[in-house]
Amino acid sequence: MLYREAGDFKTSYRDDGQTFPIRLDRWAYYAALAVAFLIVPFIINDYWANAVFVPFLIYAIAALGLNILTGYAGQVSLGTGGFMAVGAYAVYKLMTSFPEINIVIHILLAGGITAIVGMLFGLPSLRIKGFYLAVATLAAQFFLVWLFNKVPWFYNYSASGQINAPERTILGFAVTGPATSAPAKYLICLVFAFALAWVARNLTRGMSGRKWMAIRDMDIAAEIIGVNPLTAKLSAFAVSSFFVGIAGALLFSVYLGAAEVGEAFGINKSFLVLFMIIIGGLGSIFGSFAGAAFMVLLPVLLKNLLVGGLGWPTDLAAHIELMIVGALIVFFLIAEPHGLARLWALTKEKLRLWPFPH
Amino acid sequence: MNQQTEITADGRQIGGTLMEMKNITLRFGGVEAIKNISFDIREGEIRAIIGPNGAGKSSMLNVISGFYVPQEGEVWFKGQRRGPMKPYQVARLGIARTFQNIALFDGMTVLDNIMTGRLNRMRAGFLSQALWWGAAEREEIENRERVERVIDFLEIQNIRKTPVGRLPYGLKKRVELARALAAEPQILLLDEPMAGMNVEEKEDMSRFVLDVNDEFGTTIALIEHDMGVVMDLSDRVVVMDYGRKIGDGTPDEVRNNQEVIDAYLGVAHD
């Protein structure tokens, strides 16, 4: 009854093009932001930060990145883990080489470096499409992980082959290293996730996004109306890798603190992020967040239910949990192949007419 | 540029040569799809290319839009020879087209589809787009105004925000025309704009084609199988058969050309 667009008239194209054209959506969005920025930081503890919020925000950034490439520009990629590794190792090298420079600049630069690497591995997309491109990006995944294992310079010749994040501060608060507090971890990830989601929205609603979607939907027609496939595809790879690189940098420096490349950034990560965008919804900003939430929250929820609620032994619960998550993914894909974002959109469409649909 | 400007009976202006095809030959392996064809398109006219199936009409349109590069011959546009170009570069010259089997972007709304037609006129930098600040937002609104004019013109206001994949065939054809028009092209190429339409839809489409030509002064080159439509719409007609040009002139001249009649009706060999 409250959720209506009737009476909410737009008098300029600027108003008509806004992200949340319906007033209630706009309010809900501002309310969510207020809760995320003003309330959660004061009540968050280590468990909630490490188990739920921080991984959710970091994977949401990675999912946004992959969604730009796969969901919007239609280029399938299985190299996400490798590109996250580039971000992680880039930020590690920058942090250790230039300790006096602010960590935020390092993280952004790590994103930039990943963007360049991503563009390089995106070059085959000009010639090959679909499954074949997926295989080509798979090569990126394996090559990058191999490279970071093989060349000791990347891990500063440490004996264990691991990289460890030294302590860095913003405004006096530690954001990396063992002394980091839960609110600090949460806030730095939140700021990046919020800013990048906003950038992703801007890019996809403007001409860049239209070029990407044109290439995705019909590349020949796109070229005929004036899209240069070279710049469109490579810009998608660059932006996507920028996002993924930042996610990798945050995952290593803020969340994990220490990482070994094969373990932290293996092919599993690529699949995890790909599942997120498929379940969340291809070509949707909201879907990237929903998918990340689904894949991060569901195991935590199940674990709490099985171990905490039903008192099962931990090892049994861990195996059952994998099976349930797998089954739920299959169920969701059958019920709604276009992901949670479509489910959400359908609910809202129904809600507009509720409770008098006729 | 050699001809004088003419005024037609219905008051439209037809200027000098805008595009000229000189001795075009296009081969696919051993097959000659187009054999040594020359013709011109004058500014402001509606030029039709007709011919039986497999005559090479679509290939000709693909040569004009830069999709195929002919082995021999030259394409002149606005008094300059056009070198070999990629299709997106041809689009920047001001040549827009529609396709025989609709080539819209199914996942995007009608509005977004038509907005893609404006992409050569939007120059905002990447950073400006990412921050939605300055040039990006200004251009978006300016171009939206242009696009809304096209939407009004083609009477598709009510489906503005509908994803194209949900539309029926006839409307898709209209949206495709809208996307081409949004580019404000110098030459509009229409590949069978009335294919698969019923009489009513054909009438609508014919009206739009005439209106585009009349109101915007857009030069139009079209391929069409419906002879009634072609003879009514076009100022001049090129007739092709088996890759050769067998007729060129006003609809009346073409209609009375013996070779054209033979090609369409068949000829008794005895």
Cβ-defined contact of A283 to B107 (cutoff 8 Å): yes
The 8 Å CB, 24+ separation contacts for A99-107 are A99/A166, A99/A168, A102/A168, A102/A170, A103/A168, A103/A169, A103/A170, A103/A175, A103/A176, A103/A253, A104/A170, A104/A188, A106/A168, A106/A249, A107/A192, A107/A246, A107/A249, A107/A250, A107/A253
Q: Do B108 and A211 touch (CB under 8 A)?
A: no
Residues of B with CB under 8 A from a CB of A: 65, 67, 86-88, 91-92, 96-97, 99, 103-108, 112, 115-117, 119-120, 122, 124, 126, 129-132, 136-137, 139-141, 144-145, 148, 179-180, 183
Cβ-based contacts of A205 with chain B (< 8 Å): 132
pLDDT in tens, chain B (270 residues): 455 677 777 777 888 899 999 999 999 988 899 999 999 999 999 999 998 888 899 999 999 988 899 999 999 999 899 988 899 999 999 999 999 888 999 999 999 999 999 998 888 888 999 999 888 999 999 999 999 999 999 999 999 999 999 999 989 999 999 999 999 999 999 999 998 888 999 999 999 999 999 988 899 999 998 888 899 999 999 999 999 999 999 999 998 888 888 888 777 666
Rounded distance between C-alpha atoms, residue A331 and residue A327, angstroms: 6
Measured CA distances, A223 to A233, B67, B147 (Å): 12, 9, 20
Task: Give the per-residue pLDDT at B3.
Answer: 59
* A14 contacts B116? CB cut-off 8 A: no
Residues 176-205 of chain A whose Cβ lies under 8 A from any Cβ of chain B: 199, 202-203, 205
Disruptive mutation site among B58, B110, B119 for chain A (greatest number of A CBs within 10 Å): B119
For an interface test with A, give the residue of B101, B105, B133 to mutate (most A CBs within 10 A). B105
Which member of B122, B129, B139 has the closest CB to residue A203? B129
Using a 10 angstrom Cβ sphere, with 0-12 exposed, 13-18 middle and 19 or more buried, the burial of residue B16 is middle
pLDDT band at A8 (very low <50, low <70, confident <90, very high): confident
Touching check for A153 and chain B: CB below 8 Å? Answer: no
Give the per-residue SS3 of A258-292. Answer: EECHHHHCCHHHHHHHHHHHHHHCCCCHHHHHHHH
For chain B, give every domain's residue range: 1-94+185-270, 107-183
**What is the rounded average pLDDT for all residues in chain B?**
90
- Is the preceding omega at residue A355 within 30 degrees of 0, hence cis? yes
Across the interface, of B88, B129, B140, the residue whose CB is closest to A17 is B140
pLDDT (tens digit per residue) in A121-180:
999 988 888 889 999 999 999 999 999 999 999 999 998 889 999 999 899 889 898 888
Asked if the interface predicted TM-score (ipTM) of this complex is over 0.85, the answer is yes
Domains of chain A by residue range:
44-266
**Chain B residues within 8 A of A213 when measuring between CB atoms:** 105, 107-108, 112
Query: What is the C-alpha to C-alpha distance for residues A22 and A116, in angstroms, rounded to an integer?
Result: 38
Q: Say which CATH architecture domain B1-94+185-270 belongs to.
A: 3-Layer(aba) Sandwich (3.40)
Please state the rounded mean pLDDT for residues A98-107.
94
* Residues of chain B neighbouring A224 (CB-CB closer than 8 A): 65, 67, 87-88, 91, 97, 99, 103
Total Cβ atoms within 10 A of residue A168: 21
Nearest CA in chain B to A221: B103
